[in-house]
Amino acid sequence: MKAIRKILDNIKPHVQKGGKFEMFHSAFDAVETLLFVPDHVTTKGSHIRDGVDMKRTMTVVILALLPTLIFGMWNVGRLHFLSHGETFEIMDAFWYGFLKVLPIIIVTYVVGLGLEIIFAQQRGHEVNEGFLVSGMLIPLTLPPDIPLWMVAIATAFAVIIGKEVFGGTGMNILNPALTARAFLFFAYPADMSGDKVWISEKADAFSGATPLGDALVGNFENIPSPMEMFIGTIPGSIGETSTLLITFGAIILLVTGVGSWRILLSTVVGALVMGGLFNLWGENAYMDMPAYYHLILGGFAFGAVFMATDPVTASQTNRGKYIYGFLIGFIAVLIRVFNPAYPEGMMLAILFMNVFAPLIDHYVIEANIKKRLKRAKA
Amino acid sequence: MSKDKREKEPLFSAKNRKLLINPLHKDNPITTQVLGICSALAVTAKIKPAFVMTLSVIAVLGFANVIVSILRHGIPPRIRIIVQLVVIASLVILVDQVLKAFVFDVSKQLSVFVGLIITNCIIMGRLEAFALGNKPWPSFLDGIGNAFGYGWILIVVAFFREFLGSGTIWDYPVMEQLGVYNFGYQNNGFMILPPMALIIVGIIIWVQRSKDKSLVEEN
């Protein structure tokens, strides 16, 4: 640690205002505050400055994502060998997936952080660390064989149009990771949907449909057992398959208080309510599917835990969080069952509710003001 | 206004030039006044229809402004909107017939949007705001200027949407000639969808306002 501190202290004078490499000062700042607790102190008043700043918060989320990531890598390799009918060891599969997924992660971080640093430098801001998490989320929502240049374009789109035009981290309306995914989904549907893309370099004869895709077209005999889907040995986006490990990540987020339990709970309730209503309706096989299947199919769990709870784009008020979460779950299942063009309703539901979150907050606050006025008059 | 002063004014006085130039940039109907967005989203998937649309709007807006300006003392204020609509509608029908006669395929692509020029807010807006209170020649310049301001945005948006979305420029397969498909390049399907037109218009507004700070509203 001391050695790193020494190196940083040596570089510091050169990149500060007036130094030779002033243009790198944002980049330097980012590295320094990531590695060490910043030495800002409060000068006035009795505010408490905690060591938990945004970077630490983000680190917790990354930590919560790691199990899913590692499992995802293994699953990518496993499905690849399985589709070719080859035998393999656990490490073989992991290594194969690792080599597939790592380039996607690197591209996302290089493009995303590069753009963040350029914008921060231009505007004279600190580099915002929001991208640490987005950069990890983006690869996890993509299929393993996605061409890297598409990843680069989508990341650039998400950072510039999704975030920087609104003023950077904390000001964005839409979740940046989902913006990237939605961009790819609409721009390059051939590489982002269907039953060809979810298994890396799939053998032609092997069915590569995700359980969600099977459910949509009514192939219920192809859907694996709930246990298999819960553990996550099914085709899908890199990080979305294992509900088990996502639950593990959810526990980390909830225990540390980084994720909101209100949103998470109400999202699950929303999906179950809608699923239950469809069960009662029961017009076709998809509607008859047990409601809890929706929780383990596709990206529902991943979206609910890591996307819906994003503190920037979610509702801020406690009552608003219940409404926001409930509608995400509700709409996600609605889109899944009713709209054959968009098998994964979770992405669209979250983006949709992102847009409405400020409106929900507005009415929750108005209602509260009215209530208190009434009490004051009485 | 004093008539004798106006009569001495040369055709392209500084004031008249401003009428023509301002809508191109500072007072652009799309990026500053935010009018006519609907058709900007609808006809900009390719350059050709966008270009034809631009020409149509130039013709309609130019003539409508002149006609309404000539009639401006005879139009009773209470029914002025309906009179303006009659003028615009007749001109649009003329344009539509010309398009059908000479460029039928483009006319088919534009489909209802030629007819919908009638409801294009820019046209009613200019008639109300300018032609009703000004002489024919300045009205003509104002109409042409605004139509050009509308048109160049349309064509820029259409250029990016066609180039990135279909890989062509004016139906010429540029991307194919460059051979980028062999490297795994694919056309961006999102560009064909209307939301992307809105985003491109947004980017143009962003660029324009970061260049010219006087356009940024206080809030």
Full domain range(s) for residue A9? 2-34
Q: Looking at residues A222-251, what average pLDDT do you find?
A: 88
Q: Looking at residues B196-205, what average pLDDT do you find?
A: 90
Pairs from B152-155 (Cβ < 8 Å, separation ≥ 24):
B152/B24, B152/B54, B153/B28, B153/B30, B153/B31, B153/B40, B153/B201, B153/B204, B154/B30, B154/B39, B154/B40, B154/B43, B154/B44, B154/B50, B154/B53, B154/B54, B155/B47, B155/B50, B155/B51, B155/B54
Domain identity same for A25 and A167: no
Q: Is residue A294 part of a domain?
A: yes
Question: Given a cut of 80, is residue A207 above it in pLDDT?
Answer: no
**Which residues in chain A have their CB less than 8 angstroms from residue B190's CB?**
183, 186-187
Torsions phi, psi of B172, nearest 5? -95, 125
Q: Looking at residues B152-165, what average pLDDT do you find?
A: 91
Domain identity same for A77 and A8: no
Q: Give the lowest-confidence range in A84-93, A140-149, A240-249, B132-141.
A: A84-93
Domain identity same for A61 and A25: no
- Higher per-residue pLDDT: B186 or A370: A370
Q: Is residue A113 part of a domain?
A: yes
Percent of chain A with pLDDT over 90: 39
Q: Is residue A104 part of a domain?
A: yes
Domain identity same for A119 and A11: no
The answer to whether the Cβ–Cβ distance between B202 and A189 falls below 8 Å is no
**Which residues in chain B have their CB less than 8 angstroms from residue A147's CB?**
184
**Which residues in chain A have their CB less than 8 angstroms from residue B216's CB?**
none
Nearest residue to B20 via CA among B155, B125, B149, B117: B149
pLDDT-derived band at A88, boundaries 50, 70, 90: confident
Q: Is residue A271 part of a domain?
A: yes
Residue type, A352: F
pLDDT-derived band at B94, boundaries 50, 70, 90: very high
Nearest residue to A181 via CA among A23, A347, A7: A347
d(CA A79, CA A81): 6
**pLDDT on residue B2:** 47
Q: Is residue A143 part of a domain?
A: yes
d(CA A132, CA A130): 5
- pLDDT tens sequence across A309-333: 888 889 999 999 999 999 999 999 9
**Which residues in chain A have their CB less than 8 angstroms from residue B184's CB?**
147, 149
Q: Is the dihedral of CA A120, A126, A132, A137 positive or negative?
A: negative
d(CA A252, CA A256): 6
The answer to whether the Cβ–Cβ distance between A188 and B186 falls below 8 Å is yes
- Name the DSSP letter for residue B180: G
Q: Could you say which residues from 119 to 158 on chain A have a Cβ atom under 8 Å away from some Cβ of chain B?
A: 147, 149-150, 153
pLDDT-derived band at A350, boundaries 50, 70, 90: very high
Q: Is A186 on the interface with B (CB under 8 A)?
A: yes
Residues in a beta bridge with B169:
B172
* Structure tokens given for A235: 């085709």
pLDDT-derived band at A259, boundaries 50, 70, 90: confident
Domain identity same for A122 and A30: no
Q: Is A277 on the interface with B (CB under 8 A)?
A: no
Q: Is the dihedral of CA A183, A186, A189, A194 positive or negative?
A: positive
Helix axes A25-35, A2-15, angle to 10 degrees: 160
Q: Looking at residues B72-79, what average pLDDT do you find?
A: 89
**pLDDT on residue A156:** 94
Q: Is A352 on the interface with B (CB under 8 A)?
A: no
**pLDDT on residue A37:** 66
d(CA A324, CA A332): 12
Q: Is residue A49 part of a domain?
A: no
- Higher per-residue pLDDT: A257 or B91: B91
- Higher per-residue pLDDT: B216 or A119: A119
Q: Is residue A109 part of a domain?
A: yes
The answer to whether the Cβ–Cβ distance between B199 and A161 falls below 8 Å is yes
d(CA A329, CA A103): 32
Question: Given a cut of 50, is residue B178 above it in pLDDT?
Answer: yes
Q: Is B202 on the interface with A (CB under 8 A)?
A: yes
Q: Is B193 on the interface with A (CB under 8 A)?
A: yes
**pLDDT on residue A211:** 81
Question: Given a cut of 70, is residue A141 above it in pLDDT?
Answer: yes
* Structure tokens given for A353: 């509710």
Domain identity same for A240 and A319: yes
Question: Given a cut of 70, is residue A47 above it in pLDDT?
Answer: no
**Facing residue for B188 by CB, picked from A147, A161, A187:** A187
Domain identity same for A20 and A107: no
Domain identity same for A23 and A142: no
**pLDDT on residue B1:** 45
Calculate the average pLDDT of chain A: 85
**Facing residue for A188 by CB, picked from B189, B199, B203:** B189
Alpha-carbon distance A285 to nearest alpha carbon in chain B (angstroms): 32
Give the count of domains, chain A. Answer: 2
d(CA B178, CA B185): 11
Query: What is the three-class DSSP state of A236?
Result: coil
**pLDDT on residue A39:** 64
Query: What is the three-class DSSP state of B134?
Result: coil
- pLDDT tens sequence across A144-192: 889 999 999 999 999 999 888 888 777 888 999 999 999 999 999 888 8
**pLDDT on residue A42:** 63
3-state secondary structure A277-309: HHHHHCCCHHHHCCCCHHHHCCCHHHHHHHHCC
DSSP string for residues in A302-360: HIIIIITT-TTTS--SHHHHHHHHHHHHHHHHHHHHH-TT-S-HHHHHHHHHHHHHHHH
Domain identity same for A266 and A301: yes
Q: Is the ipTM of this complex over 0.90?
A: no
- Higher per-residue pLDDT: B112 or A307: A307
Q: Give the lowest-confidence range in A113-122, A200-209, B188-197.
A: A200-209
The answer to whether the Cβ–Cβ distance between B188 and A165 falls below 8 Å is no
- Name the DSSP letter for residue A234: S
- pLDDT tens sequence across B110-155: 877 888 888 888 888 888 888 888 889 999 999 999 999 999 999 9
Domain identity same for A105 and A243: yes
Q: Looking at residues B51-60, what average pLDDT do you find?
A: 91
- Residue of chain B nearest A182, judged by CA positions: B190
Question: Given a cut of 90, is residue A215 above it in pLDDT?
Answer: no
Domain identity same for A121 and A28: no
Domain identity same for A14 and A134: no
**pLDDT on residue A363:** 95
Say which residues have a Cβ less than 8 Å from residue B120's Cβ, sequence separation at least 6. Answer: B35, B36, B38, B39, B57
- Name the DSSP letter for residue A18: T
Distances (CA, A) of B120 to B56, B87, B151: 12, 14, 13
The answer to whether the Cβ–Cβ distance between B206 and A165 falls below 8 Å is yes
Distances (CA, A) of A230 to A253, A288, B121: 19, 19, 55
Q: Is residue A159 part of a domain?
A: yes
Alpha-carbon distance A188 to nearest alpha carbon in chain B (angstroms): 6
